[in-house]
Each structure stands twice: as structure tokens, then as C-alpha cells.
A = this chain, B = another copy of it.
Amino acid sequence: MDKTTLIVFSDDLDKVLAAFNIATGSASMGMEVTMFFTFWGLNVIRKDKPSKRSSNWMKRLLGMMNLGGADRLKLSKFHMMGIGTGMMRALMKKSNMPSVKEMISLSKELGVKMVACTTTMEIMGIHKEDLIPEVDMIAGVATYLENAKESKVNLFI
């Protein structure tokens, strides 16, 4: 079976939408898809509530600045205090494009595998309980490479 492996590094709304578009498109064509969420991309698969568990003040501060949750993602351009991002969401709705949350559900239905990056979680003080239940596994670069090596489509987004 042909494989697609995507590294989702960014949490920009536009890039995340592109990633899910390629993921669901690949799955619809019968490909086996793995999305590897790393660095800011981890915010896409975090629960809306900020994690408060860390005993390290820097991780707590980073947690306050860097809020997770699929509904919080912003455009990489024209965010403009929320106006641009809100407009894009409205235009997407008008064009019957699914939201990121709907994209996550659709991906799960289509069998897309979602992996959270161990290293990022450790640096940023994010715990397993902070991630949405749709996440299939927590793994490192070796797992990514095993998948990527056998993939016909492999992108860094």
C-alpha cells in the first residue's frame, strides 16, 4: 500500500489546513497516512485547556504564551488582530470547507494515524493528558524515519 508521511511542524491555520487536505486526500485514494506533529504543530492536537501541571516556571510561562487547541490556530499572514483569521474561517465555511476540528474527525474516520513528537513534549512540558484522544501514539524521530523511508509522499509542513 502506498504511504504518505507528513511532518506538521507549523501551527499556522493555513499550513495545518494544507496538511489535512493532503492527509485526507491521500487516505481517500487508499494510501496509508501518518501525520507526525512536532514543535508548534503539537498545538493542533492539544486540548483547549492550558496544561497547568509543570513545576518548572519556564515551562509554565511557555504554556501560557503557547496555547493549544485546533480552534486557536492563526493565519501565517494577515492575522491582523484576528480579523484576517476570522474572515478566512468565514470564507471557508461559505465554501463548505471543514474546520480543523472537523478535519481531525474526518482524518480519524479515514484511518489517518496521528503521532505526537516525544522530544517536543519533553522540552515544552506537555503531557499525554494534554493531548486530544484522537492521538494514536507518542514517538520520536526513529519512528518518523521508519515511516518516511517507505513513503511515496513525504513533506515537511
Interfacial residues, chain A to chain B (CB-CB below 8 A): 2, 4, 7, 9, 14-15, 18, 21-22, 25-26, 28-29, 31, 38-40, 56, 58-59, 61-62, 65-66, 76-78, 84, 87-88, 90-92, 94-95, 97, 119, 122-125, 140-142, 144-145, 148-150, 152-157
Contact A84 B65 (CB under 8 A): yes
Which residues of B have CB within 8 Å of A88?
Answer: 62, 123
Q: Which of B59, B92, B123 contacts A123 (CB under 8 A)?
A: B92
- Known pairs A65-B84, A91-B125. 12 more at Cβ < 8 A? A14-B39, A14-B40, A18-B39, A18-B156, A25-B140, A28-B142, A31-B145, A58-B87, A62-B91, A65-B78, A149-B152, A155-B155
The 22 listed contacts between A and B (C-beta, < 8 Å) are: A9-B15, A14-B39, A14-B40, A18-B38, A25-B144, A28-B142, A29-B142, A31-B145, A31-B149, A40-B77, A56-B91, A58-B87, A61-B87, A62-B88, A88-B123, A91-B125, A92-B123, A145-B153, A150-B152, A154-B154, A154-B155, A156-B156
Which residues of B have CB within 8 Å of A142?
Answer: 25, 28-29
Which residues of B have CB within 8 Å of A21?
Answer: 119, 141
Q: What is the total number of copies of this protein in its complex?
A: 3
Which residues of B have CB within 8 Å of A145?
Answer: 4, 22, 25-26, 29, 31, 153
